[in-house]
Amino acid sequence: MAPEILRGDAADYRNDLWALGVVLYEAASGRLPFEGRTGFEISSAIMRELPKPLGPPVPPGLWAIIQRCLAKAPMQRYQRASEVQAALEAVQSGAIVSPDPGADRSASLPRTTVLHSVRHAHVRKGDFLLLVGTTKGAFILRSNARRSRWEVGGPYFHGHSVYAMAYDARGGQHRIWVSTQSYWGTLLRSSDDFGKSWTNPQQAPIRFPSDTGVSLKNIWQISPGRPEEPNVLYCGVEPAALFETHDAGETWSLMRGLFDHPHRPRWMPGNGGLALHTIVLDPTDNQRMYVAISAGGVYRTNDGGRTWTAQNRGIRAMFMPDKYPEFGQCVHKIAMHPGRPERIFLQNHWGLYRSDNCAENWTDIANGVPSDFGFAVLMHPRNPDCVYIVPVESDEFRCTCDGRLRVYRTRNGGASWEPLVRGLPQKRAYETVLRDAMTADSFDPVGIYFGTRSGQLFGSRDEGRTWQKILEGLPSVVCVRNAAVADASGGAPILPKAATATSSRSKSRSTRKSRPTKKS
């Protein structure tokens, strides 16, 4: 029984975390942390005494976790079960490293975990990366400019859903951001060494203020700020809200202008929840950005987030009495071309649209596609008239039409569309490509990559004319990002023969993985 319960204080969830500390102590030592011959003596020990220290073979990191769970004051304990889970996983999967070699390890759990039991990709200058988030962890794939053979690292955060990943090279860094979501909660983590070590936050860095009455369910989008704002990042979360940081992720704040919007009480959750899943920054105006909410619609700010307006004129909402409401549309994805920021493409829940005036009006461009339902919409990095989509059959089926995996491309702003199928399965291929599971690199010709819910990863090195299977057998793919490494140190030679996955017609060669790194 926790000390505050013995004092007669009101019970809350932190009493359970104290009880968890008792269980962990007994499991690690074979005895209870507080002992006595009578109930009175045990209660007195709980109130006044500290548990006897646990030395080897109990890891110091585990002892630090137990101590914090058994803190006398509730505010000194972990505040969320997800924090305990993250700390225990750090002890289980790798070595704990303190940022201060002289720090007292018993005071708190250090902030970094090194993952020794995971296969790592060896990254060096000039490499090209694919960051793949799945429902059971994250993977990092490495190649060179040829993009024909791949070294596979992962899975990172084994068993966690990774809906968002991002690569941030601003300021000369090589930071990979990842959100991890599990039964115990959602955490935002980062790595500056391509996955060998990750931040291990002791408490969720993104959290709603207590006055909001809501709690974080998932992080759907991680968006680095503009090049001239190297310490700024944004996160779109569920329930639908936008968070920002101005100190490279050390602290985060809720953007109240959007959260307190009068429309918010009437937003509705989509099939995946009430999520702010897309963030688009105007590269020419540092005060303007767009967000997409399912199901709330598109919102734009022109003053850095202080105020927001719904920008949904012309977008259908077939499930509402008013088919063209001011807000409430279930927008699946929006994409802007950086060289023409007034042009935005949108994939809706039933509907495919383009705006040429900063989302003031939307025009239907679902001309010649087998379905206007889908999730992903991807811009060509240099051609503002070129867009890629993967139509799926709506609404309950949500798989590719006729069992054929087809990527559609327009090169005239949506006036017409062409299927790109060479190398993709066209029989019994009932696939789904989710909103963030498609990405384009900046090579010439441009490479296009996407993952499916069945765990397959495809790529094209010629802008979609032909496709190759990069990898199969993954968990459901929910996020794919890419990065060109401008400068990095260390690592093995590019593409060691025994540690690659090869884009090939051969099924066996497409699934090779990297050799595990040696423990240091």
What secondary structure letter does DSSP report for 210? G
Which is more confidently placed, 409 or 10? 409
Q: What does the mean pLDDT of the chain come to?
A: 88
What pLDDT was estimated at residue 498? 31
What pLDDT was estimated at residue 183? 75
What secondary structure letter does DSSP report for 193? S
Q: Concatenated DSSP letters for 25-88?
A: HHHHHSS-SS--SSHHHHHHHHHHPPPPP--TTS-HHHHHHHHHHT-SSGGGS-SSHHHHHHHH
Which is more confidently placed, 443 or 508? 443
Phi/psi at 185 (5° precision): 135, -175
pLDDT score of 331 more than 70: yes
Residue 272 tokens, joined: 């995946």
- What confidence tens digit (pLDDT) does each residue in 188-206 have? 999 999 998 888 776 678 9
Single out the residue of 162, 98, 106 nearest to residue 135, CA to CA.
162
- What confidence tens digit (pLDDT) does each residue in 426-455 have? 999 999 999 999 999 999 999 999 999 999
pLDDT score of 514 more than 60: no
Q: Out of 52-56, 209-213, 263-267, which region has the weakest mean confidence (pLDDT)?
A: 52-56
Residue 237 tokens, joined: 């979360």
pLDDT score of 236 more than 90: yes
Q: How many residues does the chain have?
A: 520
* pTM for the model: 0.77
Residue 44 tokens, joined: 């007195």
Q: What angle do CA 506, 485, 229 make, to 5 degrees?
A: 135
Single out the residue of 467, 422, 419, 460 nearest to residue 443, CA to CA.
460
Is residue 24 within 8 A of residue 67, CB to CB? The reply is no
Q: Report how far residue 427's alpha carbon sits from residue 441's, in angstroms, rounded to the nearest whole number.
A: 28
pLDDT score of 393 more than 80: yes
Paired strand residues for 505: none
Which is more confidently placed, 378 or 108? 378
Residue 404's H or E segment, with its range, is none
- What confidence tens digit (pLDDT) does each residue in 51-101 have? 999 987 787 778 889 999 999 999 889 988 888 887 787 666 544 443 443
One-letter identity of residue 500? T
Q: Out of 59-63, 99-103, 154-158, 164-168, which region has the weakest mean confidence (pLDDT)?
A: 99-103
What pLDDT was estimated at residue 488? 52
User: For residues 167-197, b (16+ Cβ closer than 10 Å) or e, as one string?
Assistant: bbbbeeebbbbbbbbeebbbbbbbbebbbbb
Give the domains, in start order, of the chain with CATH numbers: 3-113 (1.10.510.10)
- What confidence tens digit (pLDDT) does each residue in 107-150 have? 344 456 666 568 899 999 999 999 999 999 999 999 999 999 99
